[in-house]
Amino acid sequence: MSTHHQPASILRIIAKVLLHIVFVIAAFIMAGGIYFWIGWPVPAREIAGIAVFPAALLLWFWPGKSRLIRRIGLSLIMIAFFAVYYTKPPAPQDWVPLHERRASAVFEGDSVTIHNFRDAEHHSDAPVEVHWRDQSFDLSQVETAELIIQPFGDGPFLTHIFITFGFENGEQLAVSVEARRVSWDRFQPLGGFFRNFETYPVFGTERDLIGKRLAHVPPEEMYFYPLQLTPDEVRSVLEDLLRFSTDLFETPDFYDTLEESCFTGLVNQSRELKSRIPSWDIRRWIPGYALPLMRDHGLISDELPREEQQMRAHLPNDVPHPFSFETDRDFSLYLREQLGEEA
């Protein structure tokens, strides 16, 4: 056999293998998209999503004279599906009361006014009472930022991360990047990979965002870690998050578990944090690794051993109801006193 045609034959085999791999990946994404994203009734899209992947593989790989026609037809269907899948904006839905309104910001010199600032009252045995208002802050007075880590299950992916900004007058502004929800009872984390949710930044009081987690039975564990940032750097982080939320207010976008999850949303949308955390460090996509990641890159102090630092950062579970305090500022000051005692 002549060796003249061997390189060409090998290249054809490699190209065929790559084509098959691309098709399998595309079929999997299409199945996930139908299961989580397409606007059909839930039973219909779940049945179709489960069935479409094996059906596509069967049509693609089954031998016979019609295989080429089948592959061309499948390719055209996929092109049409992905053209809509990656361009169609999120559709309006009936959101849960906590996610009903989007926050936006108006800047005026050092002052910023946040529209749809949230101050919800959470109860363990009664429905949430949601309060929205316009709230102004003096950005020249912002001093500190704390990362709050909230594990809610076993494993590094079952962790929620949010951030709270401290002002000279004792006020705190809490920010959490979440998946916008239509139901608290039905949540499938895998849907974050398939355009199932909207990205939803929450701007609110600590007695709302921290109180929400304290209202669980038992209360969720929370750990407070001061970020090693100057006041100017803290202001930069806050302004970037405010602009991010305002952009989403004007043009909603889908929540992506990799790009805009609770932790990556905070990092990716802040130039200051993003510049300090290398893109090659895969821990940025795993919320449960936020503490070692930020210790290693100088954003959280590494002077203490991690175990001792976690013990000092832990918020006690016996915190009184946040709305038993006269103001949100009183509640925030009380929390810092408890953290100080815990240390």
For 189-219, write each residue's pLDDT tens digit.
778 888 888 999 999 999 999 999 999 988 9
Secondary structure (3-state) at 102: coil
pLDDT at 343: 44
**Residue 145: which pLDDT band, with cuts at 50, 70 and 90?**
very high
> What mean pLDDT do residues 102-106 have?
98
Distance CA 242, CA 112 (A): 9
Q: Rounded mean pLDDT of 49-73?
A: 93
The pTM score is: 0.87
Q: What number of helices (H) and strands (E) belong to the chain?
A: 10, 8
* Gap between the Cα atoms of 95 and 120, Å rounded: 15
Tokens of 242: 């405010």
Per-residue pLDDT tens for 215-255?
A: 998 899 999 999 999 999 999 999 999 999 999 999 999 98
Strand, coil or helix: 79:
helix
Output the pLDDT for position 258.
72
Residue type at 256 in one-letter notation: D
- What does the alpha-carbon distance between residue 237 and residue 263 come to, in Å, rounded to a whole number? 13
Q: How far apart (Å, rounded) are the C-alpha atoms in residues 17 and 61?
A: 12
Is 70 exceeded by the pLDDT of residue 3?
Answer: no
Query: What's the pLDDT tens digit per position in 258-275?
Result: 777 889 989 999 999 999
State residue 271's pLDDT score: 94
- Which residues lie below 8 Å from residue 16, measured CB to CB, with a gap of 6+? none
Reference 150, options 291, 33, 260; nearest CA is 291
Average the pLDDT over 148-155 and give the result: 88
**Residue 216, token pair as written in the block:** 């669980």
- Averaged pLDDT score across all residues of the chain: 91
SS3 (DSSP) at 45: helix
Sequence-ordered alpha helix ranges (H) in the chain: 6-36, 42-61, 67-85, 206-214, 231-250, 262-268, 271-276, 290-296, 306-313, 328-342
Task: Name the nearest CA neighbour of 256 among 181, 187, 197.
Answer: 197
pLDDT at 5: 60
Between the CA of residue 303 and those of 126, 306, 307, 308, what are the distances in Å?
Answer: 43, 9, 12, 10
- E strand or H helix at 112, and its extent? strand 111-118
**pLDDT above 90 coverage of the chain, percent:** 73
Of the chain, the end-to-end C-alpha distance in Å amounts to: 78
Confidence of residue 93 (pLDDT cuts 50, 70, 90): confident
The model's pLDDT over 66-83, given as tens digits with 9 standing for 90+, comes to 999 999 999 999 999 999
Rounded distance, CA 34 to CA 195, Å?
10
- pLDDT band for 342, please (50, 70, 90 cuts): very low
- Give residue 330's pLDDT: 94
Q: Determine the 3-state secondary structure of 89 from DSSP.
A: coil
316 token code pair = 């006690």
* d(C-alpha 85, C-alpha 256), whole Å: 14
Residue 153: the pLDDT is 79
The encoded tokens of residue 132 equal: 């929205």
Given a cut of 50, whether residue 306 has pLDDT beyond it is yes
